[in-house]
Structure 1
Amino acid sequence: MDRREYLKLSSAAVAGVGLAGCTGDSGSGSGSGSESSGGDSSGESGDAAASGTESGGSDGGEETAAETAESVVPSNVVIGSDIPYRPFEYETAAGELKGFDVEIAQAIFEEQLGVSYEFKKTSFDTIIPSLNNGNFRVIMSAMTINEERDQEVDFSEPYFTAYQTIIVREDSDITSREDLRGIAVGVQKGTTGLGAAEQLQTEFDGDLQLKEYDQITGAFDALMNGQVDAVINDNTVNGEFVQNQDGVRFVEGEGAAADQGENAPPYLTLTVENYGIAFREDDEAFRERVNEALAAIRENGTYEEIYSSYFAG
């Protein structure tokens, strides 16, 4: 099968995800650049300006519905993200921040909510504490919604479906899940790829060596240098690497996607996951506005246009 087919099929289930479920320290956006130092000044001044409207005595000074809705949206949204994580967020040779998450952010914040946004580079294994410490307003970083994370943050409705997959060198003898027993596997710290690898390690009674890297590019380099025998990571990111790097392939076969009745891709899937935008737990009103904007870009075709430009061709 042509390697581009992996990207076409990689997230076929995303169309069925209803709205009912990673370099630059600052990045894209309409660019105010006013929040370069983190802190949760992430547009909070915009909140204050919008909420300080209890002027002139409308029945006890209550805000109107329009004022209340506006007050929860900051004038500039700072987004925590692990960069590079191609094709979701990465820098071009010219230093421009690009990616699926980047364009979805533009559609939500700039086009739908009418505010600026910027991406702030953050290590994935510390990204949730950084959010809760006020270093940025939301996380957009190909982040899987799961129970453990849901104890610390709140998520938007899902906006992408992904799978944990395995890639190996072309000349590898590894052709099945069982063949991973006893080998060294590269994973990124703090990710669900690490979680899937740890599950396999338990299944193999510890007979699996895990090597953790700060960024997925480190795991890919280790694979090509022979320091690990396989990499476990999200299908689209693995697929992007397979497409652009000679001598690498997916481990094929059925797995979690087929077990769950998904439109399973031809490669082995260890998990089926949904990505969401993460918010602090006290940011419910803003989360609702973002969900509304996410629904709008699905309805008006913007989501499909962005999706197709990264995954359908």
Structure 2
Amino acid sequence: MKKLNISLFIPLIMIILTACGSNEDAKKNGDSKDSSSSGAKKEYHLIEDGKLTFAASGEFKPFSYMEGNKMVGYDIAVGEAIAEKLGLEPNPQKAAFSGIVTGVVEGRYDIAVASHTITEERLKQVNFTTPYYYSGPVIYTRPDSNIHSADDLKGKEVSVARGTSYLEIAQQYTKNIPQVDSDVVALQSLASGHHDAVITDDITGQNAIDSGLKIENRGYLGVSEQGIAVNKENKALLNAVNQALQEMLDSGELAKLAEKWNGVDITKKPEKNE
């Protein structure tokens, strides 16, 4: 009887030991994964642990604008999607456009998802991801204006949003360039009888027209690439955001977000200038 009990007891001990070993291995593997993920996030040098703090102007419909107390739009949706892919909580921050790049440089924001055109001047301050959309600077005037092309801008009063790349474009035609707080403000002023023209993004201008502003598109001035700004010292975060964007582009998620907020897919580079 004793022999029978021992013969049954030994296999039982072996099963228990095997199970314990498996649990320990699984725990170690789990800890290894958590440690690896945590380590990767630490390499990002985030302003706040577990959060991706990104800036946008909140005054650039349909890319970023306010609905009550919440900031929404294409830029915000892209920032939130990137945060999710990085396993972080999205933390959007509203800021004056003219100071956003400086905020990234000084460490107030991890990144800027704020429709920044990639320019040589800005590249001296921050790194940019691959473009997450493409746009075109456009001349907008009132319907009764005698401005019909870029040549007609010479010497005219052309308003642009402060801190945008449109200032450099306007300077090619005139020295009379009032700068205002946002593109929307510039277009509203134009429709109210101020300024001779405004240079801004084609989608923003069309959105203003759709909302009832009496202004017209009088021609494109080229095609621009919009990128996400990242601090030059944060290469790990730059690489991670680029990877997230590529995944969104490959899966079609980025195009769907563009169509949802802008009505068209703006994620593919035009074959030629319009």
Same fold, judged at TM 0.5 (above): yes
SS in 1 for 2:118: coil
- What is the SS of the residue equivalent to 2:216? strand
Deviates further, 127-136 or 184-193? 127-136
CA shift at 1:214, angstroms? 1.8
1:186, 1:222 within 8 Å by CA — same for their partners in 2? no
* Equivalent residue number for residue 90 of structure 1: 65
Aligned CA distance change for structure 1 residues 284 and 171 (closer, same or farther; 3 Å): same
TM-score, normalized by length of structure 2?
A: 0.77
Contact map agreement 1:155 1:277 (CA 8 A) in 2: yes
Task: Tell me the amino acid that sits aligned with residue 303 of structure 1.
Answer: L
Contact preservation (8 Å) 2:191, 2:213: no
The reply on whether 1:310 has 2:257 as its aligned counterpart is no
Which AA in structure 2 matches 1:247? K
1:6-155 aligned at under 5 Å gives the runs: 68-73=39-44, 74-92=49-67, 94-110=68-84, 112-155=85-128
Deviations 1:244-302 (A, max 9, x none): 12421100xxxxxxxxxxxxxxxx22132111111111000011111111111112221
| Matched AA of 1:182 | G
1:192-242 Cα shifts (integer Å, max 9, x gaps): 1111101222xxxxxx52111122232122202212011101111112112
Matching residue's letter, 1:75:
G
Counterpart residue type for residue 74 of structure 2: F
Aligned with residue 212 of structure 1, among 171, 179, 185: 179
In the alignment, is residue 180 of structure 1 matched against residue 131 of structure 2? Answer: no
The secondary structure found in structure 2 opposite 1:209 is coil
Of the three residues 117, 123, 132, the one matched with 1:159 is 132
Structure 2 distance, partners of 1:138, 1:84, is: 18
Q: CA deviation at 1:152?
A: 0.7
Unaligned ranges ≥5, structure 1? 1-63, 202-207, 252-267
TM-score using structure 1 length: 0.68
Is the counterpart of residue 240 in structure 1 residue 207 in structure 2? yes
SS in structure 2 at match of 1:171: coil
In structure 2, what residue type is equivalent to 1:118? N
Indicate the residue corresponding to 2:162 in structure 1.
189
Q: Distance in 2 between matches of 1:199 and 1:75?
A: 45
What is the aligned partner in structure 2 of residue 284 from structure 1? Answer: 235
The 1-side partners of 2:188 and 2:93 are apart by 24
- Residue 142 of structure 1 aligns to a residue in which SS? strand
Superposition pairs of residues 251-290 of structure 1, within 5 angstroms: 251=218, 268-290=219-241
| Separation in structure 2 between the aligned mates of residue 212 and residue 246 of structure 1, nearest angstrom | 20
Cα distance in 2 for partners of 1:183, 1:300 equals 45
Structure 1 CA distance, aligned partners of 2:58 and 2:38?
Answer: 35
CA RMSD in angstroms, aligned pairs only: 1.9
Deviation at 1:66, TM superposition (A): 5.0
Aligned residue number for residue 8 of structure 2: none
Measure how far apart 1:68 and its partner are.
3.9
Letter in 2 for 1:128: V
Write out per-residue CA displacement over residues 123-180 of structure 1, whole angstroms, 9 at most, x where no aligned residue.
2222222221111111111001111110110111111111111111112222122222
Q: Distance in 1 between matches of 2:41 and 2:176?
A: 51
Correspondence for 1:250: 217
Letter in 2 for 1:209: N
CA separation in 2, counterparts of 1:161 and 1:217? 19
Q: Give 1:90 deviation, angstroms.
A: 0.3
Change over 3 Å in CA distance of 1:240–1:296 after alignment to 2 = same
Structure 2 gaps of 5+ residues are: 1-34, 265-274
Given that residues 196 and 271 in structure 1 are in contact (C-alpha distance below 8 angstroms), is that contact kept between their aligned partners in structure 2? no
Distance 2:170 2:224 in 1: 15
Q: Does 1:226 align with 2:193?
A: yes
Structure number with greater Rg is 2
CA contact (8 A) 1:171 1:247 kept: no
Supply the distance in 2 between the matched residues of 1:227 and 1:67 (Cα, whole angstroms): 54
